[in-house]
Structure 1
Amino acid sequence: MKYLIATILFFSVFANAQASGTESKDKFADLQKEYQALLKKFGVDAKDLGMYATVGEGEEMKVLLDTNGTKVMIPASISKIATASAVLEHFPPGHKFKTQLLSNVEPKNGVLKGNLYLKGGGDPSFVSENMWYLVNAFTRNNVKKIEGDIVVDDTLFDKVRYDLSRQKERVDRAYDAPVGAMSFNWNSVNIFVRPNGVGSNAQVFIDPENEYIRLINRSKTVSGSGNNLLADREDDKKFPGDVIIVGGSIGQGLKEIVVFKNVQQPDLWAGYNLKAFLAQRGIQLTGEVKNGVTPEKSDVLAESESKPIEQMVADMNKFSNNYVAEMLTKNLGVAKKTKGATLADGVLVINEHLQSLGLPADQYKINSPSGLSRENRISSFAMWKVLDHLRDDFRVQPEFLTSLPIAGVDGTLKKRMKNSAAERWVRAKTGFLTNVVSLAGYAGLEDGRVVTFSFVYNGSTDETKIRAFFDNLLIYLVK
């Protein structure tokens, strides 16, 4: 009887293993057929594609797609995957940057008879909450009056605010903000506009309020619910900050419109905001706001730490933030120089990192860490190699995976693959330039395996069709 039961169990397990193996082997049997059908449906020419995708890991890994996989193409913003990989390699999870307030004189009787130095440590995430923390820490020095200047020290990086690797045309919006070792609120200002009585000026608010921004309100309130607001910058050589003119009209039926504008001088922008935050705590400044260098023999009076590096990588990847990409890259460059780090210094570190991963030397060339350039070149296979490394390196894999947009949920994939089989099963970085569409990341399967993929398109077909082609292919793979 025992022998009979053992025999039955053996054949049962063997049959299940065979069935499982058959299912696994046949799961993607019709992939090429589906792939060709989708090409035809969305009018995509395969010669304009670079695609490489695998499923599984180690000896179980299987190549699912290889269409021009070694062809070197313009990747657009999936370049940030390479940047993220280098950043997480050099700044392990948990790493933080520091912003400091220093002075070379000792406060006495509530008075600081000298300059207060605001020293930037390259933190791209330094925002109003951090400034509050810094100022609150400073108040514990019992200083009520500063008889000197606020001197902003952003010498950790060079003074190049817009690197040549960016597209030549400046866009006066937050995503094209300048960079600096001392930056504040993404180097952008929030302009809130609310309707007033019809025919009168609209209500306009600057947030945060400070002396760096001079606001000129020419906007009008009109009937209806239309939004025809304009926010332009006006040059004024005599004014140290930015002059912003809000014009156009807002319909009385609207509640509020927000416009995000970048600033031109990150160091002074941060300094004037420091002055405003100090004033709110009752601390008077008798001097001016200017830039300069912290004296060597200076004491730290207050310090603010950034959020962990992995959260900054998420800031970069979720919404494809070019400003954060360049800030993090210049921090990589600090490894090459203790001060005055350039974007080129950081890009060199990124390329050295890619070389260490064994990418074919003739299949990649990264000039821009954000991908906001047509000079970047990489093959789908080479990008897949980076993703493969990030998936296998447990030291950084959870943090990198968390940084990617989730299909149908958030970031640049919030509205893509929603209410489909791929919703929440795909995590990937998007990319777009004129005639360039890309998508690279991971697709999870219910059996626990993961598809690692890199899709790039360089051609003139409508980008909405290319995105639909990529998305439908992933939906098929997940199903």
Structure 2
Amino acid sequence: MRYLFLTAALMISFSAQAGLDQKTAETEMQSLAKKHKVQLADLGIYASVGEGDTLKVLLDNNGSKLMIPASITKIVTASAVLATFPPGHKFKTTIWTTGEINKGVLKGNVYLKGGGDPSFVSENMWFLVNAFLRNDIKRVEGDIVVDDSLFDKMRYDESRQKARVDRAYDAPVGAMSFNWNSVNIFVRPGNKAGDDARVYVDPENEYIRLVMKAKTTNGGDNKLLADRKEDPKFDGDLLHVGGSVGKNNKELVIFKNITQPDLWSGYNFKAFLAQRGVNVTGAVKNGETPKTASLAAETDSKAIEQIVADMNKFSNNYVAEMLTKNMGTLKKDKGVMLADGMATLQEHIQSLQIPKDQYHIENPSGLTRENRMSSFAMWKVLQHLRNDFRVQPEFLQSLPIAGIDGTLKKRMKGTKAERWVRAKTGYLNSVVSLAGYAGLEDGRVITFSFIYNGSTDEATVRQYFDKLLESLVN
């Protein structure tokens, strides 16, 4: 009897494996494409199942065709970063001082020096300020000088798409940056229709000038208008918040980027010092830390693998460029350009023996229409990351999980693919992409790369990709 049960189990397992073959997968791909009115000519798809001697190709539709990959480019960036920096690697942000301290008064400047940390946020600033306070400084009779000389002053690299927008995904880059170089605008309705809306900026500091013209209306409509502009009268940005918000709404949030990472960081540093009772009499400016300065405080970033997760889970373009410039610091110790880091990224791609005619990468975030990559080339990168145990765990945990978090939080939720798909998303106008892994209950893993360049509605293409994965997993 035991033998019969074992034989039956093996037959079921064999049947399940046999059912996932290239012919079946291609039929499903074509059937779903027809149902969703997605043209196969606009698709680059490559997928395999298994590994080593058991690896077999499931799908190859225009697999070698060069296409715009959008944000799945970050898979390549993650691969290069994890190959360059070991797990646990961290970036330092430091505070230095010049002059003498007498009875709690520093007669000199304070230098906030950036070490290229993409994850430097409010919690890190608090830690750094608390460490600074242990120098028993209650007053600074001098300036706050922000030193971001580790990187160049190119805030928006030429490889990024040319049209600038004030949304957080297009944030500028600097060696001294803060809160992803973006500001949060929280809006709440007034008590009754006609009242001014209540608008709050977080973090609050002198760098931001807020102009509030939003009104409260009846109902639950949200017609808020917000834009960010540089203020010609001072070193900072103007935030205009207008339009209206219905009184039945709770709190709404809008994210905007800032234009000057160094001064933005410096004014926030000043605000955090003020909250702890430290008054700074001078200005906030940029400059370099003199060699005679004394170290007053320092703090470490998140571990590199956690920063890569920030990049991939939320498709953060700012983090992608910051990490790439950090790769460039291995070639230069000052004024690092994005091109310096891109050289390391290109060397990494070449080491994976990907055909040179199947990729052309200019920007590490994918926020450009100049990048080109075939679905097969992306599959090769994914296979490398899957097979190299030195980086596999860190990369896998960085990917959004279907139905759970990141950019896949609302996708494939409640289906057989929920939690079984981990993948990076990509999106530009007329571009939709998805690449990663789909697990099967028998322990095998599908490695897939889907790229679409065409005129079909992007939401329809995303649905097509999801349905195809659900079918393969099921």
Question: TM-score if structure 2 supplies the norm length?
Answer: 0.95
**Aligned equivalents of 1:16, 1:259: Cα separation in 2:** 54
Shift of 1:333: 1.5
Unmatched segments (≥5 aa) in structure 1: none
Q: Which residue of 2 aligns with 1:90?
A: 84
* Alignment match of 1:301 (pick from 272, 296, 305): 296
Q: Which residue of 1 aligns with 2:163?
A: 169
Q: Which residue of 2 aligns with 1:249?
A: 244
**Aligned equivalents of 1:214, 1:19: Cα separation in 2:** 67
Shift of 1:13: 7.3
Deviations 1:393-420 (A, max 9, x none): 1111111111111111111111111111
Please tell me whether the aligned partners of residues 351 and 365 of structure 1 are also in contact (alpha carbons under 8 angstroms): no
* Alignment match of 2:95 (pick from 101, 107, 117): 101
**Aligned equivalents of 2:188, 2:454: Cα separation in 1:** 43
SS class of match (1:107): strand
Q: Which residue of 2 aligns with 1:457?
A: 452
Q: Where do 1:13-92 residues align within 5 Å?
A: 20-21=13-14, 23-28=16-21, 30-92=24-86
**Aligned equivalents of 1:327, 1:262: Cα separation in 2:** 15
Q: Which residue of 1 aligns with 2:465?
A: 470
Q: Where do 1:367-378 residues align within 5 Å?
A: 367-378=362-373
**Aligned equivalents of 1:201, 1:258: Cα separation in 2:** 16
Aligned residues: 472
Unmatched segments (≥5 aa) in structure 2: none
Moved more, 127-136 or 201-210: 201-210
**Aligned equivalents of 1:472, 1:257: Cα separation in 2:** 32
Amino acid at match of 1:180: G
**Aligned equivalents of 1:169, 1:77: Cα separation in 2:** 17
> Structure 1 vs Structure 2: percent identity of aligned residues?
67
**Aligned equivalents of 2:105, 2:60: Cα separation in 1:** 69
Shift of 1:49: 1.4
Answer with 1 or 2: which has the greater Rg.
1
Please tell me whether the aligned partners of residues 150 and 289 of structure 1 are also in contact (alpha carbons under 8 angstroms): yes
**Aligned equivalents of 1:65, 1:198: Cα separation in 2:** 57
* Alignment match of 2:178 (pick from 159, 174, 184): 184
SS class of match (2:407): helix
Shift of 1:17: 5.7
Deviations 1:235-271 (A, max 9, x none): 5322121122222222222222221111111100110
Moved more, 157-166 or 231-240: 231-240
Deviations 1:210-240 (A, max 9, x none): 1111112222222222222222334532212
Amino acid at match of 1:258: V
Shift of 1:100: 0.3
The structure-2 alpha-carbon separation of the partners of 1:284 and 1:395, relative to structure 1 and needing over 3 Å to count, comes to: same
**Would you say 1:390 and 2:385 are equivalent positions?**
yes
* Alignment match of 1:418 (pick from 403, 413, 429): 413
SS class of match (2:73): helix
SS class of match (2:269): helix
**Aligned equivalents of 1:19, 1:243: Cα separation in 2:** 65
Please tell me whether the aligned partners of residues 193 and 202 of structure 1 are also in contact (alpha carbons under 8 angstroms): yes
**Would you say 1:267 and 2:267 are equivalent positions?**
no
**Would you say 1:236 and 2:231 are equivalent positions?**
yes
Q: Where do 1:343-358 residues align within 5 Å?
A: 343-358=338-353
Q: Which residue of 2 aligns with 1:441?
A: 436
**Aligned equivalents of 1:272, 1:16: Cα separation in 2:** 66
Please tell me the root mean square deviation across aligned C-alpha atoms, in Å.
1.9
The structure-2 alpha-carbon separation of the partners of 1:148 and 1:391, relative to structure 1 and needing over 3 Å to count, comes to: same
The structure-2 alpha-carbon separation of the partners of 1:46 and 1:150, relative to structure 1 and needing over 3 Å to count, comes to: same
**Aligned equivalents of 2:268, 2:7: Cα separation in 1:** 71
Deviations 1:86-120 (A, max 9, x none): 01111122111110001233433312111100000
Please tell me whether the aligned partners of residues 76 and 433 of structure 1 are also in contact (alpha carbons under 8 angstroms): yes
